[in-house]
Structures are given as C-alpha cells and as structure tokens.
C-alpha cells in the first residue's frame, strides 16, 4: 500500500512546477496550461485526502472543479484567440502596453 503522503507530495511537486511555469514562461498558452496544472495538483490533493479520510465528498468536489476548469479554459482560449487577432503575439513580454 502506498501511503497517502506520497500522493500529497506528488501534488505539492506538481503545484510547484505549475507555479514555476506561471512565473517563468513567456508563452501565453503555456502560462495558461501551467495554471491548469496547478488546478490539477489541487485536484490530486483532494482525491488523496478523500482516500485518507475515507469520505467520497472530495471526489465530488473534484468533479465540480473539473467543470469549472473547463469553463475557464473555454473563456481563456477564446480570449487568446482575440489577443492573437489584434496583437499578433502570444509573448507575455510583448503584452506590455500596460505596465505589469
């Protein structure tokens, strides 16, 4: 039996990698995918906790979070389409009309 701790550490590592992606990536699409990865890491933690406390509620939460993530991805991607249309770039460094 693998201890639940191992899964939680995996979730923490994935969350960290996602955060790293958000901070260093210059490509808008990869940036957005890194955020999705962070959400997935949180989902993995929820599933692991659901197993640890032996209550299925955590899995239902993950189901709802997947729905929310899908909605967010739809809006985000359509916004990326718009930005490519009028700026011809997905480089975050070049989206600098506003000071970050």
Partner 1 sequence: MTGDMIIFAVSAVVAVFGAVMMIAQKNPVASVMFLILSLLAQAVCYVQLGALFLGAVLVVVYAGAIMVLFLFVIMLLNLRGREDLGLSSHPMNTITKFLLVVLLGVELVLIVKSVFMSGAVGGMMAKPTDDFGSVAQVAKLLFTKYMYPFQLTGVLLLVALVGAVVMARKDRSEIAHGAPSEEAVNEPTAGKVGR
Partner 2 sequence: MTTAAPIIDLNLMIPEIFLFLWACLVFTYDLVTKRKSGNAVAWLALAGPVLTGILTVVMFSAGFYGYGKAAGAMFEVDPMAVFFKIIFLGAAFFAIGSSFGLLKNRIVNHRGEFFGLILLSTVGMLFLAASREMISLYVGLELTTIPLFVLAAFFKDDRLSVEAGIKYLIIGALSSALLLYGMSFLYGLGGTTDIWQWKLEVARIAGKGEGVGVILTLSVITILAGLGFKLALPPFHQWAPDVYQGAPTPVAAFLSVGSKAAGLVAFAKLMIGGMVAFWDPVMIPNDWGILTAILAASAMIVGNVVAVRQSNIKRMMAYSSIAQAGYIMVGMVALNDFCLSSVAFYMFAYMFANMGAFAVIALIEDATGSCEISTYAGLSRTSPALAVTMTVFLLSLTGIPPLAGFMAKYYVFAAAIQSAGASPTFGFLYWLVGVGLVTSVVALYYYANIIKQMYFHDRPSTSPITFDAPMVMVLAVALCGVVVFGLFPEPVLQFARQIPPPYELFQH
If one asks whether residue 52 binds partner 2 (CB under 8 A), the answer comes out as yes
100 binds, among partner 1, partner 2, none (CB under 5 to 8 A by kind): partner 2
Give one DSSP letter per residue of 41-68, joined into a string: HHHHHHHHHHHHHT-THHHHHHHHHHHH
Q: Does 96 bind partner 1 (CB under 8 A)?
A: no
| C-alpha distances out from residue 63 to 57, 80, 90, 92, Å | 10, 26, 31, 31
CB 38 within 8 A of CB 18: yes
Q: Which residues bind partner 2 (CB under 8 A)?
A: 15, 18, 22, 28, 31-32, 35-36, 38-39, 41-43, 45-46, 48-50, 52-53, 55-58, 60-61, 64-65, 68, 71-72, 75-76, 79-80, 82-83, 86-87, 95, 97-100
């Amino acid at each position: 039996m693998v201890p639940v701790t191992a899964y939680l550490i995996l979730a923490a590592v994935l969350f960290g990698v996602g955060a790293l992606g958000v901070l260093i990536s210059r490509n808008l699409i990869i940036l957005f995918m890194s955020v999705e990865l962070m959400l997935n890491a949180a989902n993995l933690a929820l599933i692991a906790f659901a197993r640890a406390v032996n209550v299925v509620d955590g899995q239902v939460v993950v189901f709802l979070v997947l729905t929310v993530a899908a909605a967010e991805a739809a809006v985000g991607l359509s916004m990326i389409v718009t930005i490519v249309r009028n700026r011809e770039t997905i480089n975050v460094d070049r989206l600098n009309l506003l000071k970050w």
